[in-house]
A and B are shown apart, each in its own frame.
Chain A
Amino acid sequence: MTMQFHAPEAAITAILVWGAACPIGLLRPPGAARVAALLSIAACGLCLTAAFLPGGIVAVRPPIGLAGVAIGFRVDSLSRWFLGLIGVVGLAASIYSPGYLKHLRGRARPGFVWSGLTLLFASMAGVATAQNAIVFFAFWEMMAISSFLLVATEHERQSVRRAAFIYLGATRIGSAFLMAGFLWAHASTGSWNFHDWILRGSDASGPAALILVGLLVKAGSWPFHLWLPIAHPAAPSPVSAVMSGVMIKTAIYAVFRLLVMGGVEAPWIGWTLVAAGAISAFWGVLFALLQHDMKRLLAYHSVENIGLILLAAGVSLVARQASLTAVSDLALAAGLFHTLNHGVFKALLFLCAGTVDANAHTVELDRLGGLIQRMPWTAATFFVGSAAICALPPLNGFASEWLLYRGLFQLGASGPSGEIRLVGLLLLGWVGLVGALALACFAKAFGISFVGQPRSKEASHAKEGEPAMVGASVFLAVLCAALGLGAPLVWDAMHGLGFVRTPQAWTLPILPLTLVGALSMALIWLGMRQLARGRPTRTYITWDCGFGALTPRAQYTATSFAQPIVRLFGALYRYEMEVVVEGHGRRHFPTEIRAESSHEAYLESKVYSPALGTVIKLSEGLIMRLQAGSIHQYLLFMVLTLGLLLWLGGVL
């Protein structure tokens, strides 16, 4: 037998290399972190290679433990798609991190971050290639723990500790649901292999519901999104990039693997995904508008984009049930393509935010401004990322959202009943609303932080990031453009990978149109230059109404920019603006004016807080009684538990 080197072998090698890099990061010598970084880059390359190799199965049956379950890896088109995503974002983050970690000096040891990061990469690759539920779950838990450690990198700050614990709690709840679902599916099918999980109709409902909740928690979909905007910004920026760009996508992977392209088919899943997705998309972008911390804003946008992906997945299922195969394929392709695209541009945006953090020492939008003059490369790449996330042509975000729009339109045109057709059209308008909100939000994010006048000393003294950090951003920005302009090729690749099974052509001439647009811009520019001959352009101050120089304080802030939109949707949250004016002649000569805005979602204050309060109260009372500190009591508990388990074992 000849040893072949196909995708599973490449992926396993990558996992092993990452696994080797993990303990190296913990070593004392100063070069250890560098070795871990190089190993990580190599493994990312391998992972990316695996995406282009033919798939296959590799399984090892361990002699003890696991009750006869193989440690199996199975790589098919879907796994390869996600391995590609992990490889690309991992590569960018690995190149970026050394420069960024220098800026964390004194607050975190680079080695710790490296070992956490490599463990995270390894476990994500494991999740994407696991053949059965046991292996999947083992990697899933490794992923949860490593990302928890990474969120807690700067654990000396109280807010970071809080974020890390909230994140840990969320992962526990999600894993509990997921494990229950897996056990149920195993009980119904008698197998741990995902491939054998073929459940239809009412048999599928129980396990599907549990699995779905577990995955939605991990993905950060509404209404389980609360942890995401708290945890992601607390982590170091390259880690946020990996978490937002890739890690939450592992849940999307499992949604596709089991519920959308797999054998667990409950009739209600499609519409549930549509509803969760549509609400998440709107909710995420709306709350992003309320933020004035760049990283929190980006984290909320992950909730939005996860929503769009789930919406696409749901539409695909709904269309399949109505036997509209072509529409189903369109939506499936939209979801998968958007998963990849969001990974790329969200990682790009987080890396840029990290560069801003490292060089302007803040990501508070209202303390930034004018960075385009001082950090031109970071500004340009952030601009590309913003345009991509707003789905502006010709970038990659547009290509995948266009597929989603096309799927919704086709659902509206060819749906089997009037209701479904109407829903298709209205969802199309809904996605348009989300798109317009995203545009407003990124006009704010870019417009407040990168253009205008600097609003603080830090911002006016900012310098461009290190070449490697900028290089990683440029790499991702170029990829945004390439995936957008090359969308027809990606579409063909999706045919090849078997995601799109009906013959459908890509109808959008994106590349020619871009060239025509660029050409007309160039012509207008040349014409303007001709006109400018002999009539010089004067550079002068911004119009100040004759009152003397404008100060940066006169500019709109992030809060004031978003205010008209925030007011429109005021029914969903409590929004307060407190203005304090101090001084003797308060009206004309105030000594101090302070304005502070705060907001609180009703979902959090009216639903989650009371529920959490009840749980804490109950468990406090219970724990006081149970853990009274008496050995006798504990021994009794043990005996009782043992007896219960034996009894259960006998009954089942």
Chain B
Amino acid sequence: MSLAIHIVLLIALPLLLSCVIRKTKALMQGRPGPPLFQPIFDLVKRFRKGETVSSTASWIFRANPLVGLSIALVVAMVVPWTGAEPLARGSGTADLILIVYLLAMARFFSLLAALDTGSAFGGLGASREAALAVLIEPSILVSLSAVALASGTMDLSVALQSPVRGTVALLSGSAFLLAALAELSRMPVDDPTTHLELTMIHEATILENSGRNLALIETTVALRTAVFFGVGVQILLGKALRSPDNAIVSAASSAAAILMLGCLLGVLEGIAVKLNWRRVPSFVAFSTALAVMSAFVAAVGA
């Protein structure tokens, strides 16, 4: 039962989330914006189009979207980001180090695929994305393990569903979500709608992807956004959202919280200014500092 809910949310929520974010953002910018489900229509259209591949590209470029999507699917299946119980709880599959390194593998492919076409933009995007990862990786690892410390296991399927002290949850949840903004290439670190190549980060790495290839990458991004938001929500509000006897209620309230977070992001993207690339490190430093504080509280127990 719980697994079925998880799978339903896994299919529905990512797409819905990207619709909500885009609509809120449009409203914040004072325009009606396209219909709510436009992102889904776009995706369907892209899946049905032909694609153009650079003649310089090798198998890495072709493999990148496949690797990215399947890693995102595996991660989404094993991590309890929907509040419902995912696949194989407590089997060690949702190991937090494994999850982080699976995402690193997806990043490795996307960096190489960006360089693969021999375009200067690809190099620019890859170089910046690699630097961003260096900044956020410690924060993500420390904040997640501070949460996991209470249960004494690195298995997120257990750790995210066991009680955590309020201070730790608040600190590491905020650290995680701030890092997630950078990891997911959202404002104020990167502007997903930019069309000026020189300011792009994520968009520059996928500049050469088109048609089906691009659609796969966009699906991956939507899925990853939902998973990261879901994990953030579980850390921050897990205690309040869980109802032990009713799986549907806890999943529904988690889904609502994720969508709310999407609205918040839309508002943020409407009012925030994209940071100068050189000032990104000081933005991520907030996340790292919060993560270290959460580790302090979790370990020393102040």
Chain A positions near chain B (C-beta within 8 angstroms):
369-370, 372-373, 383, 386-387, 390-393, 398, 401-402, 405-406, 409, 412-415, 418-419, 421-422, 424-426, 428-430, 432-433, 435-437, 439-440, 442-444, 446-448, 451-453, 507-509, 513, 516-517, 520-521, 524-525, 528, 531-532, 535-543, 550, 552, 554-556, 560-565, 568
Nearest-neighbor residue (CB-CB) of B132 within chain A: A564
Residues of chain B with a CB closer than 8 A to A409's CB = 145, 148-149, 154
Question: Which residue from A421, A433, A565 sits with its C-beta under 8 Å from B299?
Answer: A421
Contact, CB under 8 Å: A433 / B56: no
CB distance from B59 to the nearest CB of A (A): 8
Residues of chain B with a CB closer than 8 A to A425's CB = 142, 145-146, 149, 295, 298-299
Contact, CB under 8 Å: B130 / A439: yes
Contact, CB under 8 Å: A393 / B102: yes
B64-79: CB near A (< 8 Å → 1, else 0) gives 0011011101100000
Contact, CB under 8 Å: B58 / A372: yes
Q: Can you give 28 contacting A-B residue pairs, CB < 8 Å?
A: A383-B60, A391-B104, A392-B105, A401-B97, A409-B145, A422-B296, A425-B145, A425-B298, A426-B292, A432-B137, A432-B138, A432-B141, A433-B138, A435-B104, A447-B112, A447-B114, A451-B58, A453-B56, A507-B92, A509-B92, A517-B74, A520-B74, A521-B70, A524-B216, A536-B50, A538-B52, A540-B55, A560-B127
Question: Which residue from B49, B108, B155 sits with its C-beta under 8 Å from A535?
Answer: B49
Residues of chain A with a CB closer than 8 A to B218's CB = none
In the complex, A379→B93 CA distance in Å? Answer: 31
Contact, CB under 8 Å: B134 / A565: yes
In the complex, A646→B19 CA distance in Å? Answer: 91
B96-107: CB near A (< 8 Å → 1, else 0) gives 011011101101
In the complex, A568→B277 CA distance in Å? Answer: 12
Contact, CB under 8 Å: B101 / A535: no
In the complex, A443→B120 CA distance in Å? Answer: 15
Contact, CB under 8 Å: A429 / B126: no
A440 and B98 contact, Cβ closer than 8 Å, known pairs A418-B301, A429-B141, A525-B66: no
Residues of chain B with a CB closer than 8 A to A419's CB = 300
Contact, CB under 8 Å: B212 / A405: no
Q: Is B207 an interface residue (CB 8 A)?
A: yes
In the complex, A568→B284 CA distance in Å? Answer: 12
Residues of chain B with a CB closer than 8 A to A507's CB = 92, 95, 155
Residues of chain B with a CB closer than 8 A to A452's CB = 56, 115-118
CB distance from A570 to the nearest CB of B (A): 11
In the complex, A437→B59 CA distance in Å? Answer: 25
Contact, CB under 8 Å: A447 / B115: yes
In the complex, A444→B295 CA distance in Å? Answer: 32
CB distance from A624 to the nearest CB of B (A): 51
Residues of chain B with a CB closer than 8 A to A428's CB = 141-142, 145
In the complex, A251→B22 CA distance in Å? Answer: 58
Chain B positions near chain A (C-beta within 8 angstroms):
47-56, 58-60, 66-67, 69-71, 73-74, 91-93, 95, 97-98, 100-102, 104-105, 107-108, 111-112, 114-124, 126-128, 130-131, 133-135, 137-142, 145-146, 148-149, 152, 154-155, 207-208, 211-212, 216, 277, 281, 291-292, 295-296, 298-301
CB distance from B30 to the nearest CB of A (A): 32
Contact, CB under 8 Å: A556 / B116: no
- What is the number of contacts between chain A and chain B, taking CB atoms within 8 Å? 247
Residues of chain A with a CB closer than 8 A to B48's CB = 531, 535
Contact, CB under 8 Å: B299 / A422: yes
Nearest-neighbor residue (CB-CB) of A286 within chain B: B134
Question: Which residue from B56, B154, B291, B292 sits with its C-beta under 8 Å from A406?
Answer: B154
Residues of chain A with a CB closer than 8 A to B67's CB = 521
In the complex, A12→B287 CA distance in Å? Answer: 56
Contact, CB under 8 Å: A387 / B124: no
Contact, CB under 8 Å: A550 / B299: no
Contact, CB under 8 Å: A556 / B124: yes
Quick one: which of A392, A425, A535, A550 has the most chain B CB within 10 A?
A425
A433 and B296 contact, Cβ closer than 8 Å, known pairs A536-B50, A543-B119, A561-B123: no
In the complex, A418→B300 CA distance in Å? Answer: 4
In the complex, A509→B93 CA distance in Å? Answer: 6
Residues of chain B with a CB closer than 8 A to A552's CB = 118
Residues of chain A with a CB closer than 8 A to B49's CB = 535
Question: Which residue from B71, B114, B152, B299 sits with its C-beta under 8 Å from A424?
Answer: B299
Top 4 A-B pairs, shortest CB-CB distance: A556-B123, A418-B300, A447-B115, A507-B92
Question: Which residue from A370, A401, A437 sits with its C-beta under 8 Å from B134?
Answer: A437
Residues of chain B with a CB closer than 8 A to A406's CB = 97, 154
Question: Which residue from B114, B128, B133, B291 sits with its C-beta under 8 Å from A429?
Answer: B291
Question: Which residue from B100, B281, B291 sits with its C-beta under 8 Å from A568?
Answer: B281
Question: Which residue from A426, A531, A560, A562 sits with its C-beta under 8 Å from B47?
Answer: A531
In the complex, A539→B54 CA distance in Å? Answer: 6
Residues of chain A with a CB closer than 8 A to B98's CB = 393, 402, 508, 513
Residues of chain A with a CB closer than 8 A to B53's CB = 537-540
In the complex, A540→B300 CA distance in Å? Answer: 59
In the complex, A538→B133 CA distance in Å? Answer: 33
Question: Which residue from B92, B93, B127 sits with its C-beta under 8 Å from A561?
Answer: B127
In the complex, A581→B250 CA distance in Å? Answer: 64
Contact, CB under 8 Å: A392 / B141: no
Residues of chain B with a CB closer than 8 A to A440's CB = 111, 130-131, 133-134
Contact, CB under 8 Å: A430 / B138: yes
In the complex, A444→B48 CA distance in Å? Answer: 34
CB distance from A568 to the nearest CB of B (A): 6
Residues of chain A with a CB closer than 8 A to B105's CB = 387, 392-393
Nearest-neighbor residue (CB-CB) of B99 within chain A: A393
Residues of chain B with a CB closer than 8 A to A538's CB = 50-53
